[in-house]
Amino acid sequence: MIESEDRQTLVPFNLKHVLEQVPELKKLDASLDSISFDEPLDSSDIEPEHWMAIAEMVRQNYEKYDGFVILHGSDTLAYTASALSFMFSGLAKPVILTGSQLPIGMIRTDARENLITAVEFATLRMNDEPVLQEVAIYFEDMLYRGNRTKKFSTEAFDAFISPNYPALAKAGVNLNFDFNELYRAEEEEFGLNKGFDSRIAVLTLFPGITQQLVELVLSNALLRGIILLTFGSGNAPRHPWLIRAIEQAVERGVVMVNVTQCAKGNVEQGKYETSVGLLKAGVVSCGDMTLEATLTKLMFLLGQSGDSAWVRDRMATNLRGELSVN
């Protein structure tokens, strides 16, 4: 981002001259190219079509480059990183997303350091192969798995957290990886699977939620998937009308999934009596997945198949390291 002409707002700018903006990149032991979309977007305007365009750009250039760094606004960065992780199969090269909290033109901007270090992480090799072989987010000294990350601060430079999974690496004087936590794809060939179905809704439960609101959402015939944002370890009010509305939606083929409102921890349906009804009604536990990973994964799977049973099964399956399996 840069300041607008009236210096009142922040607006996107074209990054065709990124190497001129950050001349320090030329000091790295790497040959760099930059590619820009025709019209830069604020990340709040990002849609699934843009996820697919980014993924397609990686696919087209996959054999040409050893790694990819994607510059992206921070607001929806975790959504894009999660979406990309599900689209790529057999990924054996680094795809690192980064951004900044302050515009690149400001004196105290974090954009330069984030970009330089992200590029350096993307160039690291060991035993003649990339150290990182997954979609990741680099921000303020930390490298996280993309589909484990969420933005938690609008002000701090360390704006992102990975609440339920360790950091992949930390940048200090040296770049230090936690090699035990790195993901390796099972597929041998790189591939790209496109397609997202946005016919989903997120229903946040809260004390005092009304029957009218719940039924208005769950009875919507256009929806194919619904994310329930629940209390604690996946709990919900024990109103008979709530369970009945959920059962009816599941019977229609709607994929209902359970994500906790807590930033850290996981859903354990059946642990408390207040979640037994959800379990019996056919709601799928999303374990310790973030909302960002759950939402993009659900949209992606619904875009791959019209079989609700298949989607439910895959939602509960660890596909790209997004879900801890006990």
Instruction: Provide the 3-class DSSP secondary structure of residue 215.
Output: helix
47, 182: one domain? yes
15, 160: one domain? yes
pLDDT in tens, the chain (326 residues): 555 566 566 555 555 556 666 778 778 888 888 888 877 788 999 999 999 999 999 999 999 999 999 999 999 999 999 999 999 999 999 999 998 877 766 667 787 889 999 999 999 999 999 999 999 999 999 999 999 999 999 988 889 999 999 999 999 989 999 999 999 999 999 999 999 999 999 999 999 999 999 999 999 999 999 999 999 999 999 999 999 999 999 999 999 999 999 999 999 999 999 999 999 999 999 999 999 999 999 999 999 999 999 999 999 999 999 999 86
| Domain-ending residue, one of 142, 162, 192 | 192
State residue 263 phi and psi, 5-degree precision: -70, -35
227, 304: one domain? yes
Write the DSSP symbol of residue 165: S
- CATH number of the CATH domain containing 104: 3.40.50.1170
18, 165: one domain? yes
184, 206: one domain? no
* Domain contains 179: yes
* Domain contains 325: no
| Domain-ending residue, one of 169, 192, 215 | 192
* Domain contains 231: yes
Tokens representing residue 17 in the block: 């001259």
170, 232: one domain? no
285, 263: one domain? yes
pLDDT at 281: 96
143, 229: one domain? no
pLDDT at 21: 66
147, 220: one domain? no
* Domain contains 259: yes
**What does the H/E/C string look like for 273-320?**
HHHHHHHHHCCEECCCCCHHHHHHHHHHHHHHCCCHHHHHHHHCCCCC
102, 249: one domain? no
* Domain contains 320: no
- CATH number of the CATH domain containing 273: 3.40.50.40
Cα–Cα distance, 169 to 91 (Å, whole number): 19
Q: 255: domain range?
A: 200-315
Write the DSSP symbol of residue 120: H
* Domain contains 142: yes
pLDDT at 124: 95
Q: Are 144 and 82 in contact (CB under 8 A)?
A: no
* Domain contains 90: yes
- Number of domains forming the structure of the chain: 2
138, 113: one domain? yes
* Domain contains 160: yes
179, 42: one domain? yes
Tokens representing residue 182 in the block: 């790195």
pLDDT at 40: 78
Q: Are 20 and 47 in contact (CB under 8 A)?
A: no
| Domain-ending residue, one of 145, 170, 192 | 192
